[in-house]
Structure 1
């Protein structure tokens, strides 16, 4: 009798163990399936987000070259072809960053590399977005028929004139004067911003609105170039001094806190 009871108890224990193992396997399989499905969903979502930006960067080098050349040539608005290309303007901004870095290095300014690179990136990309946003806000106020993406691309290509002016002032640094700088501004920057103004004015009906948009475009476009030429190195040096003072004060406070 006792043998029968012990045998039944052992069978029940083995059955419970088997049930527990099956439950663990089932939960483990469910966790694996959930993790796999979550990973696949995240992958598909990431590809979907990439596909959203692909049309703005899917351009041919020949198209970018033609748009760079056309950005210096004011034409009739009916002959202008404004696209939603973001590749060209992005490369222009990176070129502008590289020119600023090289200008600071060649001028003999000694600052921390992290400060210089970070300030140049924020200055260039931030200015591109800020100036485009300000002018586009005026376009919304004056009922100008243009989308933000198209204007963002149009204004980004116009900043190629800034790259040319900075490059010329860097190359001819031992010889250049303020007259040389202003001459390059007139030759390259004025036609570039004139092209932007003509296109916006062609989509504006009120003459006073056309004047306001033109004045705003010229002021922002040329003021930014003057800042890059005259004021950028001053801002970088001030930021570097502030960071240096903060680091020095933190180093001094460490021994005091240890005492």
Structure 2
């Protein structure tokens, strides 16, 4: 038999190691739990980043079919943009493609900038470039929105992408008018410009208007849409020739920089 002191000592001796091991087990359990929580947070963060990346790729992938086109097809569409189907007797075909129109708009911007270089004057701080980009893209997008709204109210069967494509390819006539009148004829006479405007500008405007007319159920409404579309297209060419350039010629006289 043990004495009372010895029994207390034995009980305390038995208790202390048990208490220490229990504390170690609890600390190990907390550490494991924290690691699992951190791993879970990292997994959630990685998953969310992956979902965002796939979502962005998906949004870009939506636009891919509108830019998937062969250069030979773009060349044919540029030529057809100047030849109304009414004259050839063929059925009007509108494509849902944006690569060709985008290249036309970018080339038109380059022609406008080069046209100011031909005059030997420019404007400081990139104002000319910014305005040229804003003017061309603003017309392409703004006119397309306006044409689509007009077509929607007149029950014209054209999708927004088709209107964008049609308006963009229609600017090819504008590009030729501005380019030919700027680089081939540098005199003060505007006779050559009016000739190109009357041939290339009118033919591209007539084709756009005819397609809107052909896609409209009610002929009276179709004629209205066609006239408005063709008029806006022709007026934009006149704006680029006589208003846009005059504005920057006046600005260049105030603050000229001679290009050598």
Deviation at 1:5, TM superposition (A): 5.2
Aligned to 2:38: 28
Q: Matched residues in 1 for 2:200 and 2:167: separation?
A: 14
Give the 5 Å matches for 1:144-223: 144-175=156-187, 177-223=189-235
> Conserved in 1, the CA contact under 8 Å of 2:147 and 2:163?
no
- Work out whether residues 119 and 236 of structure 1, in 8 Å CA contact, stay in contact via their aligned partners in 2: no
What is the CA–CA distance in structure 1 between the aligned matches of 2:197 and 2:187, rounded to whole Å? 17
Q: Deviations over 1:118-159 (max 9, x none)?
A: 222221111011112222222222222222221221121010
CA–CA distance in 1 between the matches of 2:249 and 2:21? Answer: 82
d(CA) in 2 for partners of 1:240, 1:58: 41
Counterpart in 1 of 2:53? 43
Q: Which secondary structure does the structure 1 equivalent of 2:73 belong to? A: helix
- 1:255 aligns to what? none
Q: Name the TM-score, length of structure 1 as normaliser.
A: 0.83
Residue of structure 2 aligned with 1:123, choices 108, 125, 135: 135
Query: Could you tell me which of 92, 97, 107 is aligned with 1:95?
Result: 107
* Shift in Å, 1:4: 5.3
The question of whether the paired residues in 2 share the 8 Å contact of 1:90 and 1:156 is answered with yes
Q: CA contact under 8 A between 1:115 and 1:239: conserved in structure 2?
A: no
Cα pair distance change 1:149/1:3, threshold 3 Å: same
> Unpaired runs of 5+ in structure 2?
1-8, 256-260
1: CA distance between counterparts of 2:112 and 2:19? 83
- For the structure 1 residues 177 and 237, does the alpha-carbon distance in structure 2 shift closer, same or farther, using more than 3 Å as the test? closer
Structure 1 unaligned blocks of 5 or more: 245-259
Number of matched pairs: 242
Match of 2:6 in 1: none
State TM-score, norm by structure 2. 0.83
